[in-house]
């Protein structure tokens, strides 16, 4: 695809690459540091001797984490959460984005619904009523409490609706001429042209599900139902030594010393690291052109 575009002048190109490479290094540092910590001995980590390379190499932290049933269990819950939650997010996003992307002539209530959804982002009644509603609808302590209440990501809806609107009208009009209804236009015309944004939003909802921890902690009635990030929150957050007994401190040192923390964080990042390159294929330009021509 790039052949049709003039390249940057050599020097500018070099500068461009250099700056990007530098940014890459800056962002890689904490990850590499975390990785190095996870493979270092506990004493080296505690005294801050680890930079970007493991000191006194050991895989003890990983053994410890992977033998911990609570970690494994919560990992599974998080996977299930993503597998169920992300597709549902995407379905609802698509179903809402389409009507909102119509013109006012096509859908007279458009503005009403746009603000109807937008207001929910801005206003909230706070935790208590939110919790009460979830309790009234019988979701407390249920897996679905992690899925249903946040099933419509409004921010993504706005992005997708915007993207739908940028698709040339002629395509829809041509389809409408052939007698296509809204469903056909949405699924046969718009969606096939929207892979890049759909891939982006899929990434967003996957990450959002994977990373949320607060709802798990507050909506589940026992720790064995926590998703991974909620579980990590109970281990990785800085324990306040004043709230713990002398004995707890010692035990926490075991399960939550810097190396095991690093290992847990790293393992928790792996699924996302795997998903990203897969979705990344769709971020490349030119998809739409092919579709229009074809």
> How far apart are the C-alpha atoms of 36 and 158, rounded to whole Å?
40
123 binds other proteins (CB under 8 A): yes
> How far apart are the C-alpha atoms of 272 and 82, rounded to whole Å?
11
135 binds other proteins (CB under 8 A): yes
CB of 80 to other proteins, least distance (A): 20
At 245 the three-state DSSP class reads coil
User: What residues from 7 to 66 belong to the interface with other proteins (CB under 8 A)?
Assistant: 7-9, 13, 16-17, 19-21, 23-24, 26-31, 33-34, 42-43, 46-49
> How far apart are the C-alpha atoms of 15 and 3, rounded to whole Å?
21
Residues contacting other proteins: total by CB under 8 A: 137
Q: Which stretch binds other proteins (CB under 8 A): 58-66, 78-86, 270-278?
A: 270-278
Compute how many other C-beta atoms are within 10 angstroms of the C-beta atom of residue 280.
Answer: 12
137 binds other proteins (CB under 8 A): yes
Least Cα distance to 96 among 109, 113, 108, 82 occurs for 113
CB of 30 to other proteins, least distance (A): 5
User: What residues from 150 to 209 belong to the interface with other proteins (CB under 8 A)?
Assistant: 150-152, 155, 158-159, 161-163, 166-168, 181-183, 186, 196-197, 199-200, 203, 207
Rounded (10°) CA dihedral 40, 46, 50, 51: 130
Compute how many other C-beta atoms are within 10 angstroms of the C-beta atom of residue 258.
Answer: 20
> How far apart are the C-alpha atoms of 134 and 144, rounded to whole Å?
10
Q: In this complex, which beta carbon is closest to other proteins, that of residue 83 or of residue 250? A: 250
User: What residues from 81 to 100 belong to the interface with other proteins (CB under 8 A)?
Assistant: 92, 95-96, 98-100
Q: Which of 76, 132, 192, 278 binds other proteins (CB under 8 A)?
A: 132
Q: In this complex, which beta carbon is closest to other proteins, that of residue 80 or of residue 207? A: 207
């Amino acid at each position: 695809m790039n052949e049709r575009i003039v390249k940057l002048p050599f020097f500018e190109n070099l500068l461009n690459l250099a700056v990007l490479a530098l940014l890459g290094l800056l962002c890689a540092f904490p990850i590499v540091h975390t990785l190095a910590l996870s493979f270092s001995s506990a004493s080296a980590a505690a005294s801050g001797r680890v930079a970007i390379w493991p000191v006194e190499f050991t895989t003890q932290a990983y053994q410890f984490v992977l033998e911990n049933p609570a970690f494994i269990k919560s990992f599974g819950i998080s996977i299930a959460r993503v597998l169920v939650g992300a597709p549902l997010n995407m379905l609802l996003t698509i179903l809402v984005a389409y009507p909102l992307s119509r013109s006012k002539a096509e859908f007279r209530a458009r503005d009403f619904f746009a603000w109807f959804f937008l207001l929910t982002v801005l206003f909230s009644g706070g935790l208590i009523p939110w919790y009460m509603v979830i309790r009234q609808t019988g979701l407390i302590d249920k897996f679905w409490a992690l899925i249903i209440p946040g099933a419509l990501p409004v921010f993504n809806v706005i992005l997708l609706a915007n993207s739908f609107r940028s698709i040339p009208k002629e395509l829809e009009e041509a389809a409408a001429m052939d007698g296509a209804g809204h469903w056909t236009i949405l699924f046969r015309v718009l969606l096939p042209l929207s892979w890049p944004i759909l891939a982006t939003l899929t990434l967003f909802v996957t990450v959002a599900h994977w990373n949320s921890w607060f709802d798990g902690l507050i909506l589940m009635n026992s720790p064995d139902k926590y998703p991974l990030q909620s579980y990590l929150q109970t281990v990785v957050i800085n324990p306040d030594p004043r709230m713990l007994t002398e004995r707890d401190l010692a035990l926490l040192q075991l399960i939550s010393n810097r190396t095991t923390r690093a290992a847990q964080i790293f393992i928790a990042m792996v699924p996302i690291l795997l998903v990203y390159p897969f979705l990344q294929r769709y971020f490349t330009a030119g998809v739409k052109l092919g579709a229009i021509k074809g």
